Amino acid sequence: MKIALISSEAVPYSKTGGLADVAGTLYREYIRMGLDVSLFVPLYKTTSVKFADSMTDTGISLDIPVGSDIQKCRLFRLAAKGSPPDARGQVYFISNADYFDREELYGPPEGDYPDNAARFAFFSKSVLEVCRKLKLKFDVLHCNDWQTGLIPLYIEALRLREKLFEDTRTMFTIHNLGYQGLFPPSALDLTGLGPDHFTPEGIEFYGNINLLKAGIISADMVTTVSQTYAKEILTPDKGFGLDGVLRTRKDALYGVLNGIDYNEWNPAADPALPASYAQSDAAGKKICKQALISHCGFTGKSEMPILSFIGRLSEQKGIVLLAGSINELMRRGLKLFILGRGDAHLEKLLRDYAGRYPGDIFFVAGFDDRLAHLAYAGSDIFLMPSVYEPCGLGQMIAMRYGTVPVATNTGGLADSITAETNARQDMNGFLFNEHSLPSFTAGINSALQAYGNRKVWAKIVCSAMGTDFSWPGSAAKYLELYKGTAHNG
Ligand code: ADP
C-alpha cells in the first residue's frame, strides 16, 4: 500500500500545534512499520534555515495556476546533499518563496496572512502536480485540515479521467473544526473550481467558501482525532455550523485518538532535562522541579505544587478561565507556569496578571520547545481548561512526565484522562464537567487534595506515567481505515 500524508505542518520541519506532532509522528510510525509512505509539507522559511543541509533540490519546477497567475512550485526532498533518497520513506517539500518564505506559517498574532487561500490552494494543487510529474500512484492520500481540503475534491473529479488517480482513496482528518479556511467568494477563482461548486451542497458556507467543508463533503473517509469529538461535532453545540454537513457523512466518519511521539517525549531519556526519571523511580522529577523553580525564579517552599499551562493562547484553550482562576490560585500560595503564543489580547491579559504576582507566576509569551520539556517534567499539575478539545496532546505529554492533568471533560481530554478508577485503568487525572470558574476550581481543589496525600498522589502519578499514548494502536487503526476493513464505533 502506497500512502501519502499531506499536511501544512509536520515535526520536525514546522510546527504551530498538535497537527505538526500528529503528521510528523504518524509518518515516522509508518516508516517504522515498514510501510511505503510519503510526506508532503510546504517549505517554510524556518524549515529551510534549519534543514538546509538535509534536503536536496530535485531540480523539478512546475507551473501551478492560481487564479490568473502562474506560480512556480520547486520541489525539494529530504536527503543530505548528494545522498540517494531513503527507500522506505520520502519527505517532499513544496517550495515557493513568495508564499512560504515568511516568518510565520499562517500569519502573525494580529491575524492570518491575507493570501492564505492562494497559498494553500497552491500547495494542494502542487502536491497533485508532483504526483503527476513523478508518476506517484498512491492508494491513499491522507489530507489534514482545511489547508488540504481541496485535494479530496480535486481527486473526486480527477479519478474519473486520469488513470493515475483512478484507484486513489482519500482520507480527510479534521484536527480542529474551529479552523475552517473561510474565504470570500472571490477566492473561488484561486481554487480553479467552477461556480457549480459554490452551492450549499458544495463548498459554499453562508456566502463564503469553506475549504474544510471541501474535504468533508468529498473525501472517501472523514476522521477526527478522538471518538468523543467525532460524536460532539455532530451536534449544533460543537459543530461550528458544519454539524449538518457532518451528519450527512456520519457513516464515513471515524474517531482515531492521536498518540504522542515516545522518542521525543520520554522522561527517561530527554536531553532537555537536568535529570532523567521513570515510572519506577521518579526521583529525577524532583531535580527537574528544582530546575524549573530556579528557571522561573519562584520564591517560597519547593514542596508547593507547581501548576502549568502550555498551549496556544486562544479562546478555545480556556485562557479566560485560566486567567479568572489566578487570584484564587495565588491566594492559596500556588506557583503557576504559563507558556503560550497566540491572540494578542489573551497575551496581554496573562501578562497583566503575571506582572501582579512576581515570583509566583512565570509567563513566557512565545514558542519554546525546550522550555516546554522542562515544564512538563518539573511541574506537578497540568491545566487544560479547554472550551472544546478535539484530542489534545498536552495532557498526554504531561501524564507521560508524571504531571497530573486537570482538564475539561470534553473531546480527547475525556478519552485520554481517567478521572475515576475503573476495571481497565487506574485514575490518572481530573476532569471537570462544566466550563465555568466554580467547576474548574473544584477540579483544581480535588487535585490539590490528592496532592496533599503522598500515597494517593504517588498512585495517580504512577498510573498517569503508565498510560499508553504511543502511536502503534492509532496507526494500526488508520491502516484498517485505508484498507476499508475498519468498523465504525
Ligand atoms: P493544538 O490545539 O494547539 O493542536 P495540542 O494539545 O493538540 O493543541 O498540541 C499542542 C502541542 O504544541 C503540544 O506538543 C504542546 O506541547 C505544543 N505547544 C503549544 N504551545 C507551545 C509553546 N508556546 N511552546 C512550546 N510548545 C508548545
The model's pLDDT over 165-192, given as tens digits with 9 standing for 90+, comes to: 999 999 999 999 999 999 999 999 999 9
Name the closest-CA residue to atom 22, ligand 1: 367
- Whether domain 2-259+471-482 has CATH 3.40.50.2000: the reply is yes
For 369-414, the pLDDT digits (tens) are: 999 999 999 999 999 999 999 999 999 999 999 999 999 999 999 9
pLDDT at 476: 95
Q: Is the CB of 443 under 6 A from ligand 1?
A: no
pLDDT at 116: 98
Atom of ligand 1 nearest to the CA of 389: 2
pLDDT at 87: 58
* Cα 279 to averaged position of ligand 1 atoms, centre (Å): 24
Atom of ligand 1 nearest to the CA of 339: 23
pLDDT at 467: 96
Name the closest-CA residue to atom 20, ligand 1: 311
pLDDT at 81: 64
Q: Is the CB of 51 under 6 A from ligand 1?
A: no
Mean of all residue pLDDT scores within the chain: 95
* Cα 204 to averaged position of ligand 1 atoms, centre (Å): 31
- Boundaries of every domain in the chain: 2-259+471-482, 284-466
pLDDT at 327: 96
pLDDT at 8: 98
Average pLDDT over residues 126-138: 97
Q: For every residue of the chain, which 3-state class applies, written as one string?
A: CEEEEECCCCCCCCCCCHHHHHHHHHHHHHHHCCCEEEEEEECCHHHHHHHHHHEEEEEEEEEEEECCEEEEEEEEEECCCCCCCCCCEEEEEEECHHHHCCCCCCCCCCCCCCCHHHHHHHHHHHHHHHHHHHCCCCCEEEEECHHHCHHHHHHHHHHHHCHHHCCCEEEEEECCCCCCCEECHHHHHHHCCCHHHCCCCCCEECCEEEHHHHHHHHCCEEEECCHHHHHHCCCCCCCCCCHHHHHHCHHHEEECCCCCCCCCCCCCCCCCCCCCCECCECHHHHHHHHHHHHHHCCCCCCCCCEEEEEEEECHHHCHHHHHHHHHHHHHCCCEEEEEEEECHHHHHHHHHHHHHCCCCEEEEECCCHHHHHHHHHHCCEEEECCCCCCCCCHHHHHHHCCCEEEEECCHHHHHHCCCCCCCCCCCCCEEECCCCHHHHHHHHHHHHHHHCCHHHHHHHHHHHHHCCCCCHHHHHHHHHHHHCCCCCC
Average pLDDT over residues 41-58: 94
Q: Is the CB of 411 under 6 A from ligand 1?
A: no
Q: Is the pTM of this model over 0.75?
A: yes
* % of the chain surpassing 90 pLDDT: 92
pLDDT at 487: 62
- Choice between 489 and 200, residue whose per-residue pLDDT is larger: 200
Q: Is the CB of 312 under 6 A from ligand 1?
A: yes
Q: Is the CB of 24 under 6 A from ligand 1?
A: no
Q: Which of 312, 384, 387 to mutate to test the pocket of ligand 1 (most atoms within 8 A of CB)?
A: 312
pLDDT at 443: 98
Domains 2-259+471-482 and 284-466 fall in the same CATH topology: yes
What confidence tier does 250 reach under pLDDT thresholds 50, 70, 90?
Answer: very high
84 pLDDT exceeds 80?
Answer: no
pLDDT at 111: 86
Average pLDDT over residues 341-346: 93
pLDDT at 488: 57
* % of the chain surpassing 70 pLDDT: 97
* Cα 368 to averaged position of ligand 1 atoms, centre (Å): 10
* Cα 97 to averaged position of ligand 1 atoms, centre (Å): 27
51 pLDDT exceeds 60?
Answer: yes
Average pLDDT over residues 102-131: 95
Q: Is the CB of 310 under 6 A from ligand 1?
A: yes
pLDDT at 281: 86
* Cα 345 to averaged position of ligand 1 atoms, centre (Å): 19
| Best CATH choice for the domain 284-466 from the list 3.40.50.2000, 2.102.10.10, 3.30.70.3190, 3.40.50.720 | 3.40.50.2000
For 279-335, the pLDDT digits (tens) are: 888 899 999 999 999 999 999 877 899 999 999 999 999 999 999 999 999 999 999
Q: Is the CB of 374 under 6 A from ligand 1?
A: no
